Amino acid sequence: MSRMGTQTLVFDSPPFIAAQTSIVGPKEGKGPLAEWFDVILEDDLLGQQSWEMAESEMVCRAVERTLRAANLSADAAQAMLGGDLNGQIIASSFAARTLGIPFLGLYGACSTFIQALILGASLVSGGYLDNALCAASSHYCTAERQFRFPVEMGNQRPPQASWTTTACGCALLSRQAAPDALRVTCGTIGRVIDLEIKDSNHMGAAMAPAVCSCISAHFADTGRTAADYDLIATGDLGWIGRNILMELFHRDKTDMPDEKLIDCGASIFFQEQDSHAGGSGCGCVASVSCGWLMKRLQRGELKRALITGSGAMLSPISCQQGQSIPGIAYAVCIEGGAK
């Protein structure tokens, strides 16, 4: 338990990732990462009466599958940290109601999963909890209703718009796990950054400055560079936002090799899947982290990755009032266990 620089928490007793689950919807299940996800839903309503309850059911299933994989009962789960994009984070809070697990609700927009990992790792590494479930979800239809228009309206989307993924990721942090389990070793808390983007369809542009700030703070705090990581992932900047981020790094003279930086949102869909700028939503970085990234770390293909989540504080009310869209980002370092 210590602190490095101005924004980075170091977990001296790094919690293990005892188990993790990724669930995605049918469209995401046809994308390039399909083979990496644990569950691909055939029906994105999950047998529920509304999209919101469907998203909540997806969170329940992700948590329950994670607990089963870790051979832990829901009663033994000490806390669930998480959130989603719905107002009043109902997907997560209704799931916590069903599951009966002590709940810490977070709102970091699409950065929520990484925010949950940092806070969860702090609580487990600090000895407050033996385990902590970190989860985040999004659903295309709930997000459209929350932020834009009902899907039934068939509203046209501009090219810079991203497609909110129907997806959920859940990781169980634990003080005890197999010695080769992944570990969360440090995390960086971002600042809210606003470069005056007002286009509510251009999330990548709204978030890229916050991601640049957070990764730069991480490097400054830890003395590391991109060379210290096998992979640096961003959450859901999409193809355009990722380019903006690279420009920002270039402007700041921060070395960031193009091949080392992957964006989850730019990776989850094929371009011909009509997702426009790429995938977004809390579930994007959550499912891609729990699927693709953690599994590659578990296989030893990567030794150490920095995963960034970013959120656009996109509020329908503040947008209608002419306010710009601030962004926030968090970063966690995940390392492979002993082989």
In the complex with its own copies, which residue's Cβ is closer, 81 or 231? 81
Site string for its own copies, 44-63 (x = CB under 8 A): -----xx-xx----------
218 binds its own copies (CB under 8 A): no
The residue count for binding its own copies (CB under 8 A) is 60
Size of the chain, expressed as the number of residues it contains: 339
State the burial class of residue 158 (Cβ atoms within 10 Å of its Cβ: 0-12, 13-18, 19+): exposed
Q: In the range 140-199, which residues lie near its own copies by CB under 8 A?
A: 145-146, 189-194
336 binds its own copies (CB under 8 A): no
Handedness of CA 22, 84, 18, 7 (dihedral sign): positive
Q: In the range 61-120, which residues lie near its own copies by CB under 8 A?
A: 78-79, 83, 86-90, 93-94, 96-97, 100-109, 115, 119
| Structure tokens belonging to residue 337 | 């266990």
Q: Distance between CA 292 and CA 2 in Å, rounded?
A: 30
Q: Are strands 80-84 and 131-138 parallel, antiparallel or unpaired?
A: parallel
Which segments of 203-320 does DSSP mark as H helices, in order?
Answer: 203-222, 238-251, 264-267, 282-288, 294-298, 316-320
- Using alpha carbons, select from 291, 299, 283 the residue that is nearest to residue 339: 299
| Structure tokens belonging to residue 310 | 């970013």
282 by DSSP, 3-state: which? helix
Instruction: Count other C-beta atoms under 10 Å from residue 72's C-beta.
Output: 19
- Using alpha carbons, select from 248, 203, 210, 222 the residue that is nearest to residue 306: 222
In the complex with its own copies, which residue's Cβ is closer, 17 or 99? 99
Shortest reach from residue 195's CB to its own copies, in Å: 11
321 binds its own copies (CB under 8 A): yes
Shortest reach from residue 33's CB to its own copies, in Å: 28
Q: In the range 117-136, which residues lie near its own copies by CB under 8 A?
A: 119, 122-123, 125-130
Position among 2, 155, 225, 271 found at the interface with its own copies (CB under 8 A): 2
Site string for its own copies, 285-314 (x = CB under 8 A): ----------------------------xx
Q: Distance between CA 285 and CA 291 in Å, rounded?
A: 10
In the complex with its own copies, which residue's Cβ is closer, 177 or 331? 331
Span from 19-27, 280-288, 289-297, 318-326 in contact with its own copies (CB under 8 A): 318-326
Q: Tokens 């995401």 — which residue?
A: 28
DSSP 186-197: EEEEPPPB----
In the complex with its own copies, which residue's Cβ is closer, 218 or 295? 218
Residues that bind its own copies (CB under 8 A): 1-3, 6-7, 9, 49-50, 52-53, 78-79, 83, 86-90, 93-94, 96-97, 100-109, 115, 119, 122-123, 125-130, 145-146, 189-194, 313-318, 321, 323, 326, 328
